[in-house]
DNA sequence: TGTCCACCGGAATCCTGGGGAT
DNA sequence: ATCCCCAGGATTCCGGTGGACA
């Protein structure tokens, strides 16, 4: 069934793109000056999740490097690298300048090092740049003549609202590439291309591609997730073709997989908080803090819990209903619990 | 209408632990 | 071995907000 699993991975960059030629052209035109030793203006890629922003950014940079291998690139996911220190560190790591760096290196030393690495252009992709907590690093990077920025975010207005005036005014003139949701037919075509490389020929029918694309409602990440999950499922069953019930079973799987992954990333106290909220269904702050304190031996302070809560809201794991007095928290998606057993069953499939 | 207070979140400060310098 | 520097998480402190209630 599965011939090449890499193709179904989330970070796979295809060798050719489907349905995003205009966007690729737009971005590569912006970066073109780099080929003539000039500076490229910063570029923004805006659009909802799963529309290929990250994929196109990486693809375009690979194309660029094929024309000029001297151009160095760094990919930074601001979800994980959300401080100035971490962003700078990640960039230095990508260009191999972290040999003797450690946690206690002064921040300015990191910046100085990046500043000194000016023997050629560096293109930095800042993915999920709206998750950056210390936005002043954008200003630092902007100041470096040999660094070009490709920034990825969901919504333009939300991103700009978070920036301070200094950097906002400078970035206002940048190129913007906008991505729309895929139509079902477009996503079906993308999935088909992936399947051609990843799976044995004829494993999936055209109608099944459409079913998957439809269930993913324009989100390629979800679509590929369903495809991957269905392929594994079919493989476990020893069939060489997708059946409709395999696909049916894989849809909820893929939709909650991302959530489960973020849930795993939580630290113990955050998970306990999440469990308290999940158990209660919906709970008010004071009750939540009390219940939490009863469950742990060394409780964190309420302020810390509030930080956890905002973080979890951010992750889209829980939601806060109402503001101030009378606010309550609840988990975003109740199905998470039920799908748990689904994943664990695995080999004992019916 | 005024007071109370649950709740939020910003800012300053403390604490911890890794790692270099001496 | 000891001291110093650092980042980042936790904690402390506190002001703002607006719904509840008299």
pLDDT tens column, A170-215: 888 899 999 999 999 999 999 999 999 999 998 999 999 999 999 9
Q: Between residues A158 and A47, which one has the greater pLDDT? A: A47
Q: Using the predicted structure, report yes or no on whether residue A228 has a pLDDT greater than 50.
A: yes
The conformational region for residue A327 under phi > 0 = left, psi -120 to 50 = alpha, else beta, is beta
Burial A285-323 (b: 16+ CB within 10 A, else e): beebbebbeeeeeeebeeeebeebbeebeebebbeeeee
CA–C1' nearest nucleotide, residue A303: C11
CB atoms within 10 A of CB A278: 17
In the structure, how far is the CA atom of residue A82 from the C1' atom of nucleotide C6, in angstroms? 18
Report pLDDT digits (tens) over A241-259. 899 999 998 988 776 777 7
Lowest mean pLDDT among A176-185, A292-301, A316-325: A316-325
At A333 the pLDDT is 67
At A226 the pLDDT is 93
| Average pLDDT score over residue span A258-270 | 80
Q: How confident is the model at residue A337 (pLDDT cuts 50, 70, 90)?
A: very low
In the structure, how far is the CA atom of residue A301 from the C1' atom of nucleotide B14, in angstroms? 14
Query: Whole-number mean pLDDT of chain A?
Result: 85
| Average pLDDT score over residue span A124-138 | 85
- Protein residue with the closest CA to the C1' atom of nucleotide C18: A324
Q: Are A14 and A194 in contact (CB under 8 A)?
A: yes
Q: Using the predicted structure, report yes or no on whether residue A283 has a pLDDT greater than 80.
A: yes
Q: How far apart are CA A127 and CA A187, in angstroms?
A: 22
Q: How far apart are CA A254 and CA A269, in angstroms?
A: 26
Q: How far apart are CA A45 and CA A153, in angstroms?
A: 6
Q: Using the predicted structure, report yes or no on whether residue A99 has a pLDDT greater than 70.
A: no
| Average pLDDT score over residue span A326-333 | 82
At A104 the pLDDT is 58
Q: Using the predicted structure, report yes or no on whether residue A155 has a pLDDT greater than 60.
A: yes
Lowest mean pLDDT among A41-55, A67-81, A332-346: A332-346
Three-state DSSP class for residue A72: strand
Distances (CA, A) of A149 to A9, A127, A219, A236: 25, 10, 25, 44
Residue A307 approaches strand C within 7 Å at CB? yes
Domains, in order of start, for chain A = 20-178 (3.40.50.300), 184-258 (1.10.8.60), 265-336 (1.10.10.10)
In the Cβ-directed half-sphere of A68, how many Cα atoms lie within 13 Å? 17
Answer positive or negative: Cα dihedral of A65, A69, A71, A75: positive
| Average pLDDT score over residue span A136-159 | 88
Take residue A79 and report the two structure tokens written for it: 């979800």
At A278 the pLDDT is 87
Q: How confident is the model at residue A312 (pLDDT cuts 50, 70, 90)?
A: confident
Q: How confident is the model at residue A60 (pLDDT cuts 50, 70, 90)?
A: very high
3-state helix/strand/coil string of A174-201: CEEEECCCCCHHHHHHHHHHHHHHHECC
- Protein residue with the closest CA to the C1' atom of nucleotide C4: A104
CA–C1' nearest nucleotide, residue A307: B9
CA–C1' nearest nucleotide, residue A82: C8
Q: Between residues A86 and A54, which one has the greater pLDDT? A: A54
Q: Using the predicted structure, report yes or no on whether residue A336 has a pLDDT greater than 70.
A: no
Residue A268 approaches strand C within 7 Å at CB? no
Lowest mean pLDDT among A68-82, A214-228, A259-273, A334-348: A334-348
At A65 the pLDDT is 93
In strand C, which positions have an atom below 7 A from any protein CB? Answer: 5-8, 10-14, 16-20
Q: Between residues A117 and A288, which one has the greater pLDDT? A: A288
**Which residues get their CB within 7 angstroms of nucleic chain B?**
A 100, 102-104, 284-286, 303, 306, 309-310, 320, 323-327
In the structure, how far is the CA atom of residue A86 from the C1' atom of nucleotide C7, in angstroms? 10
| Average pLDDT score over residue span A254-279 | 82
At A62 the pLDDT is 94
Take residue A130 and report the two structure tokens written for it: 């709206």
Burial of A38 (0-12, 13-18, 19+ CB in 10 A): exposed
């Amino acid at each position: 069934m599965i011939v090449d699993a890499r193709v179904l991975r989330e970070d796979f960059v295809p060798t050719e793109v489907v349905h995003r030629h205009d966007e690729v052209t737009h971005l590569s035109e912006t970066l073109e000056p780099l080929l003539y030793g000039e500076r490229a203006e910063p570029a923004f890629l805006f659009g909802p999740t799963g529309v290929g922003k990250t994929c196109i950014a990486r693809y375009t940079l690979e194309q660029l490097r094929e024309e000029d291998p001297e151009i160095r690139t760094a990919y930074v996911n601001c979800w994980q690298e959300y401080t100035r220190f971490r962003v700078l560190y990640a960039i230095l790591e990508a260009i191999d300048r972290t040999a003797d760096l450690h946690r206690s290196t002064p921040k300015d030393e990191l910046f100085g090092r990046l500043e000194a690495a000016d023997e050629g252009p560096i293109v930095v992709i800042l993915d999920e740049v709206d998750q950056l907590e210390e936005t002043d690093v954008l200003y630092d990077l902007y100041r470096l003549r040999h660094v070009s920025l490709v920034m990825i975010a969901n919504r333009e207005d939300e991103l700009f609202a978070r920036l301070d005036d200094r950097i906002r005014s400078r970035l206002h003139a940048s190129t913007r590439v906008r991505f729309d949701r895929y139509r079902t037919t477009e996503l079906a075509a993308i999935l088909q291309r992936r399947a051609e490389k990843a799976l044995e020929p004829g494993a999936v029918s055209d109608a099944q591609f459409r079913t998957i694309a439809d269930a993913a409602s324009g989100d390629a990440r979800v679509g590929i997730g369903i495809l991957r999950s269905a392929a594994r499922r079919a493989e476990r069953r020893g069939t060489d073709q997708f059946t409709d019930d395999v696909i049916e079973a894989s849809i909820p799987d893929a939709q909650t997989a991302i959530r489960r992954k973020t849930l795993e990333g939580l630290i113990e106290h955050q998970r306990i908080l999440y469990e308290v909220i999940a158990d209660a269904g919906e709970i008010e702050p004071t009750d939540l803090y009390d219940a939490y304190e009863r469950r742990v031996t060394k409780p964190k302070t309420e302020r810390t819990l509030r930080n956890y809560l905002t973080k979890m809201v951010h992750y889209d794991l829980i939601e806060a209903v109402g503001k101030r007095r009378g606010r309550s928290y609840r988990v975003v998606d109740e199905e998470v619990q039920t799908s748990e057993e689904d994943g664990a069953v695995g080999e004992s499939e019916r």
